[in-house]
């Protein structure tokens, strides 16, 4: 299995069957009540392009954190997310093509 670090604590685990998008976050251990780093599965995808498309949808939801917002604020957040993911993609594609 290969792990690819993305942005904002998101990462993808790649194996022979799929690409699993996950996010690291600080959670609470159910037994001890202590804070610890945990992982949440976001979804399973066929390829990295599908992972990045999902990531673009996840970032604005993280930014708005369940608040009620206007359409303009959501659109601006979605545009920022798209640009960040596109920049990440361009940087990493360039690195891999060297």
Tens digit of pLDDT per residue, the chain (98 long)? 899 999 999 999 999 999 999 999 999 988 888 999 999 999 999 999 999 999 999 999 998 887 899 999 999 999 999 999 999 999 887 655 55
pTM for the model stands at 0.83
Confidence (pLDDT) at 95:
58
Helix (H) or strand (E) holding 23: strand 19-28
Residue indicated by tokens 């976050």: 25
Where b means 16+ CB within 10 Å and e means fewer, 13-43 reads bbeeebbbbbbeeeeeeeeeeeeeeeeeebe
Task: List phi, psi (to 5°) of 56.
Answer: -60, -30
Confidence (pLDDT) at 92:
87
Confidence (pLDDT) at 97:
53
């Amino acid at each position: 299995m290969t792990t690819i670090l993305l942005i904002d604590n998101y990462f993808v685990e790649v194996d022979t069957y799929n690409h699993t998008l996950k996010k690291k976050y600080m959670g609470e251990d159910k037994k001890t009540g202590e804070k610890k780093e945990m992982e949440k599965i976001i979804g399973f995808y066929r390829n990295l392009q599908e992972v990045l498309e999902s990531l673009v949808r996840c970032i604005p939801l993280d930014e708005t954190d369940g608040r009620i917002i206007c359409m303009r604020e959501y659109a601006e957040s979605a545009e920022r997310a798209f640009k960040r993911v596109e920049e990440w993609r361009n940087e990493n594609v360039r690195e891999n093509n060297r």
